[in-house]
Structure 1
Amino acid sequence: MKRSKRLQVVLDLAERKRKQADQWLGQSQSRVQQGEATLDQLRNYYSDYANSFYQVGASGISPGQIETHQAFMQKLRVAVQQQENALQMDRAQLEKVKEYWQSAYQHFKAVEMLVDKIRLQESQQAEKQLQKELDERSQLIRPPFI
């Protein structure tokens, strides 16, 4: 069995690993984008709620309404903080996945180049062998005038 065919198995495995890394990278990027969108929504809701409450509060509100407002605002602040923490973890995970993807891609390219180089060498060797055989045959055939 030719060396290039044996290495084809290694190339197939490297390609499978690279494709899996592609999927993980896409999923990780998607998680970060979703987390950023959720954080923006929470921050906007927090800001809108605070502004609307302050506008209503200008005309006067009861102490119970203030306590309810403060409790709700605290819950929103906690939700924003939790989302920021989750987004920070997702971003860190994305960086690790990028490093893994880059490693898998480089490994795939290196194996691919090696297989291509070996195929070229095998092709050149086969051409040399064929030329050698043709030369030997041409020497064995004697012209009729001798």
Structure 2
Amino acid sequence: MNRVKRMQPVLRLAGLEADKAGRALAMMQQRVQAEENKLSQLYAYQQEYRNQMQVSGQAGMTVDRLRLFDGFHQQLDRAINHQRELIEHMQKDQERVREHWRKLDIRHKSLEKMLERLQRDADVQTARNEQRNHDEFARRRSSDSGWS
């Protein structure tokens, strides 16, 4: 029983570490999702801008205006590429955080199982001791009653 009590704080700390890593993973997933939403908005804006350029081009536009459209379109392309790189970097970080959480979760579950086994062993030992004490008490009682 003493080993069980000594291991409980270790189990509790392992659980806290796994929970903390799980929260970090959830936060990372939310951040990646937010950045992916930004990328979707950039794509939508780029498509909207292309449509505007096409409508303006059909109505006729100056070379300066066409250069302006093209320059801004290139800026959008760079922003999209930057956003993709950012998401890729964040996804790699997310995978590292996920792996860290997995290791801590496995450790916590292993400690739980070990503690359960220790508790079962302690229960069996307690039951044996109680049976031995009961048998000893019964033996003494029968031998004491024989002298009366």
TM over 0.5: yes
Q: Which runs of 4+ in 1 moved over 3 A?
A: 142-146
C-alpha distance in 2, partners of 1:144/1:80?
97
Q: Report how many residues are paired.
A: 146
Structure 2 alignment gaps of length 5 or more:
none
Q: Distance in 2 between matches of 1:121 and 1:145?
A: 39
Alignment partner of 1:34 is 2:43? no
Q: Which residue of 2 aligns with 1:87?
A: 87
In structure 2, what is the Cα distance between the partners aligned to 1:136 and 1:144? 15
Structure 1 residue 74 corresponds to structure 2 residue 48: no
Q: Which moved more, 1:67-76 or 1:3-12?
A: 67-76
SS at match of 1:61: coil
Paired residues for 1:1-146 under 5 Å: 2-141=2-141, 142-143=144-145
What secondary structure sits across from 1:65 in the alignment? helix
- Distance in 2 (CA, whole Å) between partners of 1:51 and 1:101 is 45
Q: CA deviation at 1:74?
A: 1.3
Cα separation, 2, equivalents of 1:92 and 1:52: 36
Distance 2:16 2:135 in 1: 45
CA RMSD across the alignment:
1.5
Q: Percent identity?
A: 27
Give the alignment's TM-score, normalised by structure 1.
Answer: 0.94
Q: Which runs of 5+ in 1 are unaligned?
A: none
Cα distance in 2 between the residues matched to 1:51 and 1:61: 14
